[in-house]
Chain A
């Protein structure tokens, strides 16, 4: 099956700094990637849909100026958490859609655990 990687797998940063998380599709070209956030014992919440070469589409309630998404190539999308605060501490997971398959098929990355101190 298709493989999606994320880097880093975990990161600790100080309040007020910015953190960049990378999501890569390793064996296919992903025109669409998705970013999710998951707080402890809660479900995955879609933050935004990232389309290669265009602006991301953010879900209601997600601050686009705080969570910057760049989908600069067909294999890479990045999420930058700007001016991070402790309440941004969460598990961030990306997924990618393989255009060769069904639109409903998404492949998840392993996730990035962000801790803001």
Chain B
């Protein structure tokens, strides 16, 4: 079992709709969770982090965390073509390392 699992996609969403990205993790001792956006050929860019159960909103982005289910999600409202990228879920594990998922490719179609 991978430590951080994501659906690789591609996930295609019409412009203006809500994109929903999901992630599960295996280490119950994990305390911090991150979503990074990565454009092709570029380094990852942190867009959200969440430490507590529940929802955290920042602009068009909402991160959701359920530690009991070991599940993290990212919602992108009013999706724009510029949101087309690979989204990496990452977890700060009990071994004090950030472990990345394999990423979900998101495509926003006009």
Contacts and interface: CB of A to CB of B under 8 A. Distances in A.
A72 interface: no
Contacts of B41: 91, 113
Interface stretch (A11-19, A38-46, A62-70, A78-86): A38-46
Interface of B: 31-32, 34, 41-46, 49, 88, 92, 96-103
Contacts of B92: 103-104
A108 B102 CA distance: 17
A44 B100 contact: yes
B98 A108 contact: no
A111 B43 contact: yes
Taking each of B41, B44, B45, which has the highest tally of chain A beta carbons within 10 Å of its own beta carbon? Answer: B44
Interface string A80-105: 00000000000101000000001110
Contact of A43 (B31, B32, B101): B101
Interface of A: 34, 42-46, 49, 91, 93, 102-104, 106, 108-111, 113
Nearest to B32: A104
Given A108-B43, A109-B43, A110-B43, A44 B88 contact: yes
27 contacts: A34-B98, A43-B88, A43-B100, A43-B101, A43-B103, A44-B88, A44-B100, A46-B97, A49-B97, A91-B41, A93-B43, A93-B44, A103-B92, A103-B96, A104-B31, A104-B32, A104-B49, A104-B98, A106-B98, A108-B43, A108-B44, A108-B45, A108-B46, A109-B43, A110-B43, A111-B42, A111-B43
A1 B44 CA distance: 15
